[in-house]
């Protein structure tokens, strides 16, 4: 209360100093109060990107309470008057694109490796979430066919408006208007945890990642022992970003579980110290967020959408992931430069558009969950070697194989670099199901005779396959 009174007095003093001279019209500039309120509201909206929905939308969830706070409603009405109708509201569907990028300290700082199309249906208070894979091959205006995660980067270089260009691309692919966008820098995640003094995490399965991205396109090793431990921001970020861990920690399902574990650890730390009741802590978190988020929301739109989202309950959240499995709408292709691409099986985007447009026709609870551990197929093990002079071909291919559930034991260069076609070498007896999967993913051809220089790799690593990538 003291801080609010101080803030109010400060605004009164500021208003007096900004009084226009007689007979002159004041300049129409955004007030400091308006700018501050806008940043705070967008900060709250950005929490959608960081916290599990059962935390945000629970009975005591942050956005739930925010939607009930007459204080914020009063500020909104004081500044903007009558509530504004949101884009898409009259058509009972408000579409928001959520983008997560690595930031200045990350390779490809403007690549958005997290892309979520969020749709809110006001009449039923449903929220639909579609996770869009970063490798989806799409047409980007003025830049031709590219991976969708590069749209934001191209937009930033062209007109410093990556959010707008990515929204245009997503809208074209799914045949839906993208009304708003929200972009978040991953560095927030690390800074918030450091501000908390670290978080306590129970690592259920220890693992090692030999291919964690390092500086200048290098790799470094990160390791996590099983058991309880306190992680600082850097270690926690490695924990949730690792994509090539041993011991079954190399799948997107495993990474998602780790992300949930960290987010719940943050929640426990905040609750344990009752930090949301401490204005100084909220101010510090706000300062972390304000320089690392951007959006195209107006102030009035931010306030109203936050209120609407506060009415969402967990059972009304529908999620969908576009994948390339047997029943998914996508398939894997290898580009002319060796890049791993995802394309629609039908040859056009009509099926993807249908999924997005009809997401609310499914039952409310549609969260996709991995099958029980016992039902999951055995992960294949593989060594990936670059048989060409195409830079980073082994690294990029290994990352995509890991995304498809493979355990990559090692990457490197082949003894010779003159391979025109991709060659697959299998340990005996070869697992036919894994071989078929690998051939579909890479387009490689099985070679029966194993060269002497590869035999030791099989013996020392006990791997299922060695693949030498061709031109």
Cite the beta strand spans of 5-155 per DSSP E: 94-101, 112-121, 126-131, 137-140, 144-147
The one-character DSSP state at 443 is -
As a whole number of angstroms, the distance between CA 3 and CA 9 comes to 10
Q: What average pLDDT does the segment 80-94 reach? A: 77
Give 401: exposed, middle or buried? Use CB within 10 Å, 0-12, 13-18, 19+.
buried
In order of their start, the domains of the chain are 205-272 (no CATH), 377-469 (3.30.70.2390)
The β-bridge partners of 213 are 219
pLDDT tens digits, one per residue of 27-37? 444 455 445 44
Sequence-distant (6+) residues with CB within 8 A of 261 are 201, 202
The one-character DSSP state at 245 is B
Look at residue 366 in the predicted model and tell me its pLDDT: 40
With CA atoms as reference, report the closest residue to 376 among 226, 251, 278: 251
* β-bridge pairing 293-295 and 207-213: unpaired
Coil/strand/helix, residue 351 = helix
**pLDDT > 70: percent of the chain:** 70
pLDDT for 309 beyond 80: no
Look at residue 467 in the predicted model and tell me its pLDDT: 92
pLDDT tens digits, one per residue of 389-445? 887 788 878 877 887 778 888 888 888 888 888 999 988 877 888 888 888 888 888
Q: Provide the angle, in degrees to the nearest 10, between the axes of the packed helices 32-50 and 299-309.
A: 40
**pLDDT > 90: percent of the chain:** 17
Look at residue 363 in the predicted model and tell me its pLDDT: 47
As a whole number of angstroms, the distance between CA 61 and CA 96 comes to 21
Mean pLDDT of the chain: 75
Torsion sign across C-alpha atoms 140, 177, 45, 161:
positive
Look at residue 127 in the predicted model and tell me its pLDDT: 87
As a whole number of angstroms, the distance between CA 72 and CA 58 comes to 19
Helix, strand, coil shares of the chain as percentages rounded to 5? 45, 20, 35
Least confident of 199-208, 225-234, 279-288, 392-401: 279-288
* Residue 17 confidence class, pLDDT cut points 50, 70, 90: very low
Question: Cis ω on the peptide bond leading into residue 429 (within 30° of 0)?
Answer: yes
Give 327: exposed, middle or buried? Use CB within 10 Å, 0-12, 13-18, 19+.
exposed
Torsion sign across C-alpha atoms 274, 278, 284, 288:
positive
* Residue 167 confidence class, pLDDT cut points 50, 70, 90: very high
Q: Give the C-alpha distances (Å, rounded to integers) separating 462 from 155, 387, 457, 458.
A: 46, 21, 8, 5
Look at residue 210 in the predicted model and tell me its pLDDT: 84
Q: What average pLDDT does the segment 351-355 reach? A: 93
Torsion sign across C-alpha atoms 367, 292, 102, 140:
positive
pLDDT tens digits, one per residue of 431-450? 888 888 888 888 888 888 88
Look at residue 105 in the predicted model and tell me its pLDDT: 54
On whether the CB atoms of residues 348 and 379 are closer than 8 A, the answer is: no
Look at residue 314 in the predicted model and tell me its pLDDT: 67
Look at residue 108 in the predicted model and tell me its pLDDT: 63
């Amino acid at each position: 209360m003291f801080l609010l009174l101080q803030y109010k007095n400060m605004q009164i003093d500021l208003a007096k100093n900004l009084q226009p001279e007689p007979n002159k019209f004041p300049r129409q500039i955004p007030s400091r109060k308006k700018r501050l309120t806008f940043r705070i509201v967008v900060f709250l909206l950005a929490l959608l990107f960081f916290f599990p929905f059962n935390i945000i939308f629970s009975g005591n969830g942050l956005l739930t309470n925010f939607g009930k706070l007459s204080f914020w409603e009063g500020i909104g009405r004081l500044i903007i008057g009558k509530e504004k109708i949101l884009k898409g509201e009259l058509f009972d569907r408000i579409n928001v694109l959520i983008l997560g990028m690595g930031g200045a300290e990350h390779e490809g700082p403007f690549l958005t490796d997290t892309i979520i199309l969020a749709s809110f249906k006001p009449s039923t208070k449903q929220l639909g979430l579609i996770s869009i894979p970063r490798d989806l091959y799409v047409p980007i205006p003025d830049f031709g066919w590219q991976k969708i995660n590069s749209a934001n980067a191209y937009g930033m270089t062209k007109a410093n408006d990556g959010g707008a260009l990515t929204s245009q691309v997503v809208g074209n692919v799914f045949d839906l208007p993208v009304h708003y966008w929200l972009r978040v820098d991953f560095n927030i995640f690390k800074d918030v945890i450091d501000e908390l003094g670290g978080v306590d995490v129970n690592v259920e399965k220890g693992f090692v990642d030999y291919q964690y991205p390092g500086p200048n396109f290098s790799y470094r090793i990160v390791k996590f022992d099983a058991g309880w431990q306190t992680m600082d921001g850097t270690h926690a970020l490695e924990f949730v970003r690792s994509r090539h861990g041993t011991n079954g920690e190399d799948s997107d399902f495993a990474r998602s579980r780790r992300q949930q574990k960290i987010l719940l650890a943050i929640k426990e730390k905040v609750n344990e110290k009752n930090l949301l009741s401490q204005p100084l802590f909220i101010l510090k978190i706000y300062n972390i967020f304000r320089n690392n988020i951007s959006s195209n929301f107006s102030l009035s739109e931010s306030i109203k959408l936050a209120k609407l989202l506060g009415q969402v309950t967990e059972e009304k959240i529908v999620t969908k992931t576009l994948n390339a499995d047997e029943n998914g709408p996508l398939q894997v292709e290898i580009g002319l430069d060796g890049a791993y691409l995802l394309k629609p099986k039908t040859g056009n985007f009509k099926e993807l558009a249908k999924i997005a447009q009809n997401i609310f026709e499914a039952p409310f609870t549609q969260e996709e969950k991995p099958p029980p551990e016992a039902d999951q197929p055995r992960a294949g093990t593989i060594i990936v070697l670059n048989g060409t002079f195409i830079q980073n071909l082994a690294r990029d291919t290994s990352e995509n194989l890991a995304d498809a559930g493979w355990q990559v034991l090692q990457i490197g260069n082949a003894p010779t670099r003159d391979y025109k076609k991709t060659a697959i070498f299998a340990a005996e007896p070869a697992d036919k199901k894994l071989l078929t999967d690998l051939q579909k993913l890479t387009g490689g051809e099985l070679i029966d005779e194993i060269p002497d220089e590869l035999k030791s790799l099989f013996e020392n690593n006990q791997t299922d396959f060695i693949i030498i990538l061709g031109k």
